[in-house]
Amino acid sequence: MIEFYKTTDEGTVQIENLEPGCWVNVMRPSSEERTWLLDDLEIAPEFIRSALDDEESPHTDFDDDTRQVLVILDCASIEDRAETVDDTIVQYDTQPLAFLIVPEKECIVTLSLVPNETVRLFTTKRLRKLDTENRTDMMLQMMLHVSQQYLVCLRNIHRQFIKNEKELHRTMRNKELIKMLGFEKSLVYFSTSLKADDAVLQKLNTGRVVKLDSDDRDVLEDVTIEIRQAMEMSSIYATILNGSMETFGTVISNNLNLTMRTLTAMALVLAIPTIIFSFYGMNVAILPLDQTWIWPVLMAVGVSVVSAVVLWARKFFIK
């Protein structure tokens, strides 16, 4: 899918064809659309390959011949339901979003393989007014929203974690522990992508890849602050999660030890009647009061009760 947008006096509107100063939004391009990007926009082939690689790490590149600029950032996205560990929680992944500045065609191109929340909000005019002719500012504004989206997702992960932690305190089921694994997975993705995004911002800040004026540097500084705040939040949440998982593992192991101690004490008490009846079941005549069954029963019950009381007093049955 290829869409064209341009800022006019009426705001940013969708147009039919490529025009100077427009924004070209490309999402999951077909083979014909890839050919159009190569032939009509004359984008460097290696830039297209990098932008369409879902495993591509964030980086920047510059083509000396065409003066084209490629910037790839990882964006937070909701993970595919087919890959989640539990359907009742929202897990997150990261997907690359490529920015291509094409000076010869006087346009900026965004390219992604999956629907991107930042692009969607900009195309539906739910964010601030764009200036598609100012390509650098537009790219930085979209980067700013990408960084803010990380913070939104991290807060959502934290809310889900708190809710699941309360449920774990109450039930200690495997289902809640598996949910914790999903949170840890999301935080690992975020931590890795945020570090790579921060490295891209540092390279942009040098001004060698894209020329920056004072306003652009202010926006880039805001993006860097948001990214580093997200990095800090991700690190804190990961530390809390790891500590909680270790604590719950210790609690589960301790509960198992207490349960085994209780079962051992119960088995000991229940073994006493068996031992006494075994003695009286022997074919010998030296056991006392072996003429009636009442005495063995009373002895078994009495010894069992005394043993149970002693074990209870020593808190063998108390968790």
> CB count, 10 Å around CB of 242?
13
Average pLDDT value over all residues in the chain: 81
CA atoms within 13 A on the CB side of 179: 22
**The total number of residues written for the chain in this structure:** 319
Distance CA(107)–CA(117), nearest Å, equals: 21
Strands 107-112 and 11-15: unpaired
Does position 70 have pLDDT exceeding 70, yes or no? yes
In tens, the pLDDT along 97-117 reads 899 888 888 888 888 888 888
**Contact in structure between 308 and 269 (CB atoms under 8 Å):** yes
Given strand 69-78, what is the order of strands in its sheet? Answer: 11-15, 2-8, 22-27, 107-112, 92-102, 69-78, 59-62
> Side chain identity at 133, as an amino acid letter?
E
**What pLDDT sits at residue 229?**
92
**What pLDDT sits at residue 287?**
64
In tens, the pLDDT along 159-199 reads 888 888 787 777 767 777 778 888 888 888 888 889 998 99
Distance CA(92)–CA(37), nearest Å, equals: 30
**Beta carbons within 8 Å of 196's beta carbon, 6+ residues apart:** 57, 58, 59, 74
For residue 107, what is the DSSP state? E
Distance CA(291)–CA(285), nearest Å, equals: 10
For residue 131, what is the DSSP state? -
Task: Give me the domains of the chain, ranges plus CATH numbers.
Answer: 2-253 (1.20.58.340), 257-314 (no CATH)
In tens, the pLDDT along 6-62 reads 887 777 777 788 888 888 888 888 888 888 888 888 888 888 888 888 888 888 888
First-residue to last-residue Cα distance in the chain: 62
Query: pLDDT-derived band of residue 135, with 50, 70 and 90 as boundaries?
Result: confident
Burial group, residue 86, by CB count within 10 angstroms (0-12, 13-18, 19+) = middle
3-state SS class at 53: coil
Distance CA(20)–CA(12), nearest Å, equals: 14
**Contact in structure between 7 and 132 (CB atoms under 8 Å):** yes
**What pLDDT sits at residue 225?**
92
Element (H, E) at 101: strand 92-102
Instruction: Look up residue 69 and give its two tokens.
Output: 């600029």
In tens, the pLDDT along 257-272 reads 777 877 887 888 778 7
The CA distances from residue 166 to 161, 175, 250, 252, 294, in Å, are 9, 13, 17, 15, 53
Distance CA(234)–CA(154), nearest Å, equals: 7
